[in-house]
Each structure stands twice: as structure tokens, then as C-alpha cells.
Amino acid sequence: MKLVVAGHGRLGCAMLEAVAMILGVSVYERAECVDLLEGESLENFYDKLSAKAGEDSIIVTDLFGGTPSRAALMLLQQGRARAVLTGFNMPMLIEMLSYEGDSIEDMLGKVRQAAKDGVRVFVGSDLRELTEKVEREERGLLSRILRR
């Protein structure tokens, strides 16, 4: 499996560089990056991405609906990539590049969970963490107060 990280501006390559700081430069043996430069057309970016991706590639993009994800989905639709993940963050890339199992479905499930778990929200000077349970409880309390 080969990973291709694609993003707007220099985000894709910068993210891969940041992950290499954590996992080591050996990530470049399994991953490449492609950046969308300002003013670059979908067609030109598609050509750049196509040159790096292959049938065994997983393409990870920064934002669903943007030029990088649209080009990646075109390649997937043509059978020129194995999977596309959008909305990358460092935890998902670290999980993906650290995975040692054989099942791509298992790996993709772990990657998606790592991406979700990597997003945490803290509020207030006491650093209270908002969790889905707390958010649901607060919405419920708010709706009860508003009904009165």
C-alpha cells in the first residue's frame, strides 16, 4: 500500500513532513505528497496526482469537495486508487503509516477512529473537555430550559 497525501497550498506536504518528525523519515518510503498550488486547475492537479497514485494507493485529502478530493475521487472511480479518505489530520496519518496488519478494511476503520479521537474540545480555564455525552446533556438541558 502506498499513501498519497494531497491538499490545498502546501498543506499535504507539510502534513507529511510533520508526521515524519514523529514517525521518522522512513514514512517517505510509503508515502508521497501532492500540493494544489494557487490558480492550478483541476485538470493539472489531476495529472500531478495521477502520476503519484496507483491501483494500490490510498489517497488522503484535506477537504471533501475541494479540488484534491475531486481529483482523488476521479482516480478511485477509474480504478486508479484503492481508497480515498477526506478531511485528514495527524492522528489518522500516524495510524495509517503505523498500521502493520493485512486487512485494508480493518486499517481504514482504525484510521477513521483515530481521526475522530484526535479531535478533542476543551473549554474554560478549568480545561473541561466537551465530549459527545456532555454535549448531548447540555443540549437536552438547554432545550428543557427553553421550553419553560
CATH 3.40.50.510: does it fit domain 2-117? yes
Please write the tens of the pLDDT for every residue from 24-36: 999 999 999 999 9
Please write the tens of the pLDDT for every residue from 42-70: 999 999 999 999 999 999 999 999 999 99
Q: Where does residue 53 fall: left (phi above 0), alpha (psi -120 to 50 degrees), or beta otherwise? A: beta
Please write the tens of the pLDDT for every residue from 113-142: 999 999 999 999 999 999 877 666 666 666
- Which cell goes with 79? 480504478
The pLDDT assigned to 82 comes to: 96
Alpha helices by DSSP H, 1-77: 11-23, 42-52, 67-77
pTM confidence score = 0.86
Q: How far apart are the first and last CA of the chain?
A: 57
- Cα separation, 124 vs 128, in Å, equals 6
Domain limits, the chain: 2-117, 120-148
Cβ atoms of residues 129 and 121 within 8 Å: yes
Cβ atoms of residues 33 and 12 within 8 Å: yes
The pLDDT assigned to 30 comes to: 95
